[in-house]
Amino acid sequence: MDGIDAVVTDFDDAGVTVHATHTEYYPADLKEALLIAIREPLEVPLDESGELHRRVGACFRDAAIAVIAACDVDQQDVVAIGSHGQTLRHQPDIDEPFSMQIGDADIIASGTGITTVANFRQADIAAGGQGAPLVPPFHHWLFASPTNKRVVVNIGGIANITTLSTDGSDVTGFDTGPGNGLMDVWISKNQGEPFDQGGQWAARGMVIDDLLRQLLNDPYFSLPPPKSTGFEYFNAGWLRRFDIDRHDAADIQATLCELSAITIANAIGLQAPDAHDVFVCGGGVHNAELMRRLQKRLSGVSVSSTAAAGLDPDWVEAVAFAWLAMRTLRNEPGNLPSVTGATHTVVLGDIHSP
């Protein structure tokens, strides 16, 4: 929700070339409307949902135009746009599972004149999968090593891990739980800031051990993979289940930071106890306190950003969906059943012609 990450990139056997990057921010009123739609879905009329779908599509269109203008690539030379969309709801474990992303791809395609691939999650869900996470195949393609077992950790609002074996035979991945999301909610409520810059506020607090134990007792953390989650679960309402108001606000922030670090580290310990390298991407890589706590929990393992493996951590997810769009156009599968739990591999995404 911080902004729309856009890249111009291409791929060859040697890896990835990023030509330009751009972040397009939502207008304040649209961002607030999206947050309400996520937090209080029953309060959003169908007509308003349709308007949000169009408005988000226009923002994605503008992001694509801006990032292309920022480099020496001609618009007509862009083969396709891969658009993940803005997630409003992710419900993979109900009787009729679904994952809802908005951002009208036809507005993107018609506004740019470029074929647009979108709606990536539905084919995997139709095949019995969670529809998430979808980036592990890209992580494997770019970051796997023939000599060292690696783990890629993406820390956005929710954190997820991808484990990469040396021979490519055992790629797993799942959402570990909250990443930055709960910390963002708490600092926004208490200090009016959108996020904890560098984790400075969390660093001033002390972990509340009893509260941490209560948080860790949530059944999600003990579920075996495949599993995925989102802001519809780990949100302000989830925090209100616990008796937090009697504690110092900075101590709560420190505890939430520790919760993210320990659940990520525990997941790595269970799935890849012999990992040699852990590469981190997403906004969480800029939270020095979270990275410090994660490294402490993973003593003896090298923890660094994906920049050490060749790709700026801020742009890994955007590049991943460009890569998935490329696979869609080649009619190649984009999911990994070992990650999502699908019964078979499928080609992901819908193709929208301009």
Give the integer Cα–Cα distance in Å for 156 and 179. 6
pLDDT at 175: 97
One-letter amino acid of 80 = A
| Maximum alpha-carbon separation in the chain | 59
- The SS3 of residue 31 is helix
> What does the pLDDT look like over 103-131, one tens digit per residue?
999 999 999 999 999 999 999 999 999 99
pLDDT at 271: 94
Query: For residue 21, how many other CB atoms are within 10 A of its CB?
Result: 18
pLDDT at 193: 95
Q: What are φ and ψ of residue 102, in 5° steps?
A: -110, 165
The tally of CA atoms less than 13 A away on the side-chain side of residue 148 is: 12
Give the integer Cα–Cα distance in Å for 281 and 332. 26
Strand order through the sheet with 172-178: 172-178, 158-164, 150-155, 277-281, 302-305
Domains of the chain: 4-131+315-352 (3.30.420.40), 136-309 (3.30.420.40)
> What does the pLDDT look like over 186-224, one tens digit per residue?
999 999 999 999 999 999 999 999 999 999 999 999 999
pLDDT at 184: 96
The model's pTM is 0.94
Contacts by 23-32, CB closer than 8 A, 24 or more apart: 23/63, 24/59, 24/60, 24/62, 24/63, 24/66, 26/1, 26/56, 26/59, 27/59, 30/55, 30/56, 30/59, 31/1
pLDDT at 40: 87
Tally of residues, the chain: 354
- Burial class of residue 330, CB neighbours in 10 A (0-12, 13-18, 19+): exposed
pLDDT at 232: 87
Any alpha helices (H) in the chain, and if so which ranges?
28-39, 46-69, 105-112, 122-126, 136-143, 181-191, 200-204, 209-216, 236-239, 249-271, 288-297, 316-329, 337-340
Q: DSSP per residue over 61-118, as a string? A: HHHHHHHHHTSS--GGG---EEE--EEEEEETTSSS-EEEEE--HHHHHHHHTS-EEE
Tokens of 70: 């920022």
Query: For residue 194, how many other CB atoms are within 10 A of its CB?
Result: 12
Under DSSP, the state recorded for 343 is S
Tokens of 193: 């800031």
- The SS3 of residue 153 is strand
pLDDT at 135: 96
- pLDDT below 50 — which residues of the chain? none
pLDDT at 320: 98
* Helix pair 249-271, 288-297: axis angle to 10 deg: 40
pLDDT at 14: 85
Phi-psi category of residue 17: left, alpha or beta, with phi > 0 → left and psi -120 to 50 → alpha: beta
pLDDT at 110: 98
